[in-house]
Amino acid sequence: MDTKTWFFKNKPAIMFSGVVGGPFEKKSPYSSEFDQCMDSLWMEQESFEKANRLLIEEAIEILMKKAAIEPHEIDALLMGDLINQLTPTSLAARTLSVPYLGLFSACATSMEGLALSAVLVDGGYSGKIITGASSHNAAVEKQFRYPTEYGGQKPPTAQWTVTGAGVALIEKYTAQSSPYAFIEKATIGKVADEGMKDPYNMGAAMAPAAADVIHRHLTQTNQTPDDFDLIVTGDLAWIGHSITEDLLKEKGWTFKEGQFLDCGKLFYVENPGIQAGASGPACSAMLFYSHFLNELQKGSIKKMLAVATGALLSPLTFQQGESIPCIAHAVELSSPSNYQVN
């Protein structure tokens, strides 16, 4: 077997989370579980990029308030976004003034950050780590597509980038703490590229990466889908998610009804304005760090596999006719209720 899954022995856990959304995210069926939703896309900032930075800062502030910690107690910040050279995240890190690692896996950043944080905490290198991801719809449109007010028609395969930020505090479990979820294992994805070139059909481009990492995680940990309550992908959306399900069926993995979900499908349910579904780093980060964490803590989900998928394209590469390289990272999370029983 090639690259191995990481098994965490020292119980790294998600202690707290902070989730901030934009104005459109209020329409999400999970909006009540978000900590805050902004009222406008501008968020009283001069530019959409600054608004993206504000989202990150707000999310981290909410998280620190919940955890009752000061910035100097944070050992590292592992975050990323989609905008030019991660500037919104870097500027937010400047405000916070904490040790910082900027991450880029496009929409898979949330799980890349979570896996790396778990490694650092598990290995004893860091105490408290904040990890997460953010995106801003208008800023992403501006960079990757057309101006926001441009009247171009988007095909039904296009996806809607979520405006928001989701962050989580990772710490080693101690008897005194009451974590939301434990990070059990993580599998790092390989870049998959099946020659898809259409930037308006990201789901289809990302599906092979997602299928590959799920398949490897299951085989390398000797598990089957039945061991999980839920397997949730990041932002494959309606098209990519059904392709992934077919790809996994080819490899012999089948799922029960309602067991294989996708944040891109769940985020806004079916809203004609969003075409094929939601996308963006914030899509998976916001849902994993709000709804699914709450469910894990309650124990209604005992064990889940969180898979975030990312399309690693730039405006330059697709204009030059390069196909879209994609990646997916899988992190296995379990509910604290599993341990209380034992």
Partner 1 sequence: MAKQTASEKSYQSLVNAHDRKRPVLINCIKAFLVGGCICIIGQAVTVFYITFFSFTEQTAGNPSVATMIFFAMFLTGFGVYDRLGQFAGAGSAVPVTGFGNAVISAAIEHKTEGFVLGVGGNMFKLAGSVIIFGVFAAFVLATIKTLLSYFGVVN
Point out which span in 56-64, 93-101, 193-201, 300-308 binds partner 1 (CB under 8 A). Answer: 193-201
Q: Return d(Cα 217, Cα 13) in angstroms, integer.
A: 20
Relative to beta strand 164-172, strand 12-21 is antiparallel
Q: Is 204 helix (H, G, I), strand (E, B) or coil?
A: helix
In whole angstroms, the minimum distance from the beta carbon of 111 to partner 1 comes to 23
* Token output for 317: 């590469």
The residue count for binding partner 1 (CB under 8 A) is 33
- Under rule CB under 8 A, residue 149 binds partner 1: yes
Q: Which of 132, 208, 280, 281 binds partner 1 (CB under 8 A)?
A: 208
Q: Return d(Cα 114, Cα 188) in angstroms, integer.
A: 11
Residue number with CB closer to partner 1 (83 or 301): 83
- Under rule CB under 8 A, residue 229 binds partner 1: no
Residue number with CB closer to partner 1 (66 or 142): 142
Angle 137-144/48-67 helices, nearest 10 degrees?
140
Residue number with CB closer to partner 1 (139 or 183): 139
- Under rule CB under 8 A, residue 47 binds partner 1: yes
Residue number with CB closer to partner 1 (113 or 189): 189
Binding pattern to partner 1, positions 6-25, x when CB under 8 A? --------------------
Point out which span in 5-13, 16-24, 78-86, 201-209 binds partner 1 (CB under 8 A). Answer: 201-209
Point out which span in 22-30, 40-48, 177-185, 283-291 binds partner 1 (CB under 8 A). Answer: 40-48
Contacts of 277 (CB under 8 A, 6+ apart): 159, 160, 203, 235, 236, 237, 238, 239, 241, 262, 264, 265, 267, 268
Q: Which of 48, 100, 180, 228 binds partner 1 (CB under 8 A)?
A: 48
**Residue type (1 letter), 253:** W
- Under rule CB under 8 A, residue 38 binds partner 1: no
- Under rule CB under 8 A, residue 85 binds partner 1: no
CB 30 within 8 A of CB 287: yes
Residue number with CB closer to partner 1 (48 or 228): 48
Residue number with CB closer to partner 1 (99 or 315): 315
Relative to beta strand 164-172, strand 129-135 is antiparallel
Q: Return d(Cα 181, Cα 173) in angstroms, integer.
A: 10
- Under rule CB under 8 A, residue 155 binds partner 1: yes
Q: What backbone phi and psi angles, to 5 degrees, belong to 275? A: 55, -115
In whole angstroms, the minimum distance from the beta carbon of 133 to partner 1 comes to 23
Q: Which of 194, 223, 314, 318 binds partner 1 (CB under 8 A)?
A: 194
* Cα Rg of the chain, angstroms: 18
Half-sphere exposure of 13 (CA within 13 A, CB side): 22
Q: Which of 142, 219, 297, 317 binds partner 1 (CB under 8 A)?
A: 142
Half-sphere exposure of 110 (CA within 13 A, CB side): 35
The strand pairing partners of 309, in sequence order, are: 328
Q: What share of the chain is helix, strand, coil (3-state, %, to 5)?
A: 40, 20, 35
Point out which span in 95-103, 142-150, 180-188, 312-320 binds partner 1 (CB under 8 A). Answer: 142-150
- Under rule CB under 8 A, residue 153 binds partner 1: yes
- Under rule CB under 8 A, residue 322 binds partner 1: no
Kindly list the residues in this chain that would bind partner 1 in the complex (CB under 8 A). 46-49, 142, 146-157, 194-196, 201, 204, 207-208, 238-239, 242-243, 246-247, 273, 276, 321
